[in-house]
Amino acid sequence: MTKFNAILFSLILVATFSCSKNKKSEASNITNSTQMQLTIFHGYGDSEETVSESATIELVNQVMERLDWNKFTNVQLTIDDNNWLSVGGSLGSDGLSVIYSENGEQFVTVDPPETEEQMTKVLRSYLNDDGQFKKDWKFE
């Protein structure tokens, strides 16, 4: 994915998230006991599916395995409007990316993930609040 495509992808994710119906309150401290909403955005914001208000590792794994990654799709874990992580894109011409927001500041991967498994690992890390995804990937 070119830098331009990554930036464009990030803008699409932000616009998609801004249109979301998420009404969770802001959290001042993110902990691994924080409940996260698991949402799928199909297409380029065409439709939104809230899978769970309380995501689990098992649920993340199931969702990621069942999706068709040849079609543009985003999977997002949300704590509140300022703290979330979204993975997505497509294995085709769009490419994949990871973007997250921490206290309202947004970051996107410099180098894109190449597989569904890599994106799943990022989601699991975010859900576990272990910070490993920040060590494994460079963000700007």
56 Cα distance to chain centroid: 14
At 56, the amino acid letter reads T
User: What pLDDT score does 74 carry?
Assistant: 97
- 23 touches 80 (CB < 8 A): no
129 torsion bin: left (phi>0), alpha (psi -120 to 50), beta (else):
left
Q: Rounded distance, CA 48 to CA 31, Å?
A: 26
DSSP state of 71: S
Nearest C-alpha neighbor of 36 from the set 132, 123, 107, 140: 123
Instruction: Measure the CA–CA gap between 132 and 122, rounded to whole angstroms.
Output: 8
So what's the pLDDT on residue 31?
A: 42
Q: Give the SS3 label for residue 66.
A: helix
What global pTM score does this model have?
0.80
pLDDT, position 9? 54
Q: Which residue has the tokens 């993110």?
A: 30
Residue in the structure block whose two tokens are 């704590």: 79
Each residue's pLDDT expressed in tens, for the chain with a length of 140 residues: 444 444 455 555 554 444 444 433 333 344 456 899 999 999 988 899 999 999 999 999 999 999 999 999 999 999 999 999 999 999 988 999 999 999 999 999 999 999 999 999 999 999 999 999 999 999 99
Query: What phi, psi does 113 have (nearest 5°)?
Result: -65, 155
Position 10 scores a pLDDT of: 52
What confidence score (pLDDT) does residue 78 get? 98
- Give me the pLDDT at residue 13, please: 53
